[in-house]
């Protein structure tokens, strides 16, 4: 029996404006037996030897071409992630990530070859994002602006992927804030994808250490392009105990926000024994705040802590002065600091 349990949910919606759905997705709750069925009700299973896989692809190219590109990407992933091939892939973290990168590059080549064979699909392309939940980690690989998030009840929402987009480049250069990036008129302009005839796909990767209660969200920009991270976090937080309901509510949130794009959501909820949670190392602690949306209660406590520490620093400076030049004032400062510390602890 595995010490890690997982629940999956996934769904897609054409949206309120478009007439065809160019998104595609797939999920396997047990790669050991190539089980690609997605339960329609909450069902908890043991994480198998080769883990579970979540994938979202957002096609582009107009007519049916985008749908073809995303379908090829998904099919390539399914053909690659077979038990026979995974034995070597899971030996090390490096081999696991390399296997994911090689799979994405194979999908890119397959799309390009199809475009050469079928002139009606020329110009098609797709984004892709994968999350491989394996042992104590989630391995994330992506190309484009489809995203991977992780929500934890104690830590809030963290964006694990980083968009390959024009707007993200502006943010990286300090020319645009994350807040303004969401509403930027060129927010849908991507800089990497699968199927680009000018540039081969260059995916990025990341490793996330699992924590009890983690809920992984993979989505097309039909969700994250319409709903801000704080709104996404609120929905997951409210429906975290039922991943199917959570999936439906996330799609509804995108539709209620305009629904002008296809929206696809894949969720994977992790439960693990507390004794199996590894201690966070310095690197994990340092990177865990990247892209995180922190719950309001936690933000307020952080602000209070900063205020208290600032006040204590000011009192220390006055205390040093009073110690040498004004003993009665020094005694009052010591008494005030003691009272302040008692109140803060409570």
The whole-number average pLDDT for the span 201-209 is: 98
Q: What are phi and psi of 60, to 5 degrees?
A: -150, 155
What's the pLDDT tens digit per position in 267-278?
Answer: 999 999 765 555
Is the per-residue pLDDT at 283 higher than 50? Answer: no
For range 210-230, the mean pLDDT: 97
Query: Is the C-alpha dihedral spanning 218, 95, 88, 208 positive or negative?
Result: negative
Average the pLDDT over 136-152 and give the result.
98
Instruction: Please count the helices (runs of H) and the strands (runs of E) in the chain.
Output: 11, 12
In this structure, of 124-128, 302-306, 311-315, the range with the lowest mean pLDDT score is 302-306
End-to-end CA distance of the chain: 43
Angle at 217 between CA 210 and CA 153, to 5 degrees: 55
**Mean pLDDT of the chain, nearest integer:** 87
The predicted-structure confidence for 44-70, as pLDDT tens digits, reads as follows 999 999 999 999 999 998 656 999 999
Q: Six-digit token pair at 43?
A: 């069902």
Band of pLDDT at residue 34, cut at 50, 70 and 90: confident
161-199 burial: b if 16+ Cβ within 10 Å, else e: bbbbbbbbebbeeeebeeeebeeeeebeebbbbbbbeee
Mean pLDDT lowest for which of 38-42, 213-217, 229-233?
38-42
Question: Taking the CA of residue 310 as centre, how many other CA atoms within 13 Å lie in the half-sphere pointing to its CB?
Answer: 6
pTM of the model: 0.81
User: How would you classify residue 121: left for phi > 0, otherwise alpha for psi between -120 and 50, otherwise beta?
Assistant: alpha
Q: Report the pLDDT averaged over residues 202-210.
A: 98
CATH number of 4-293: 1.25.40.10, 2.40.50.140, 3.60.40.10, 3.30.9.10?
3.60.40.10
Phi, psi of 211 (to 5 degrees): -130, 150
User: Which of left, alpha, beta for 71 (phi over 0: left; psi -120 to 50: alpha)?
Assistant: alpha
Band (330; pLDDT cuts 50, 70, 90): low
User: What integer pLDDT is reported at residue 39 of this predicted model?
Assistant: 81
């Amino acid at each position: 029996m595995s010490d890690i349990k997982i629940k999956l949910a996934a769904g897609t919606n054409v949206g309120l404006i478009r007439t065809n759905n160019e998104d595609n997705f797939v999920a396997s709750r047990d790669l050991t037996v190539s089980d690609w069925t997605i339960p329609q009700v909450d069902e908890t299973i043991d994480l198998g030897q080769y883990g579970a896989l979540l994938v979202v692809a957002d096609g582009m190219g107009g007519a049916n071409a985008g749908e073809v590109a995303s379908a090829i990407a998904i099919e390539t992933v399914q053909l690659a992630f077979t038990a026979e091939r995974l034995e070597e892939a899971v030996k090390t973290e490096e081999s696991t990530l390399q296997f994911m990168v090689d799979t994405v590059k194979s999908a890119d080549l397959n799309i390009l070859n199809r475009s050469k064979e079928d002139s009606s699909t020329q110009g098609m392309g797709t984004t892709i994002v994968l999350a491989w939940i394996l042992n104590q980690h989630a391995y994330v690989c992506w190309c484009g602006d489809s995203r991977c998030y992780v929500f934890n009840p104690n830590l809030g929402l963290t964006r694990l992927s980083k968009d390959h987009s024009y707007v993200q480049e502006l943010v990286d250069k300090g020319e645009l804030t994350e807040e303004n990036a969401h509403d930027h008129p060129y927010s849908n302009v991507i800089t990497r994808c699968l199927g680009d005839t000018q540039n081969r796909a260059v995916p990025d990767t990341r490793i996330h250490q699992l924590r009890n209660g983690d809920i992984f969200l993979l989505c097309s920009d039909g969700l994250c392009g319409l709903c801000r991270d704080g709104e996404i976090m609120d929905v997951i937080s409210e429906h975290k105990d039922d991943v199917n309901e959570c999936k439906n509510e996330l799609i509804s949130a995108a539709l209620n926000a305009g629904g002008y794009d296809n929206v696809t959501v894949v969720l994977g909820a992790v439960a693990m024994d507390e004794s199996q949670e590894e201690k966070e190392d310095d690197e994990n602690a340092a990177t865990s705040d990247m892209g995180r949306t922190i719950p309001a209660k936690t933000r307020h406590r952080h602000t209070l802590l900063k205020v208290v520490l600032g006040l204590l620093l000011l009192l220390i400076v006055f205390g040093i002065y009073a110690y040498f030049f004004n003993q009665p004032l020094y005694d009052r400062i010591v008494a005030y600091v003691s009272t302040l510390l008692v109140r803060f602890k409570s």
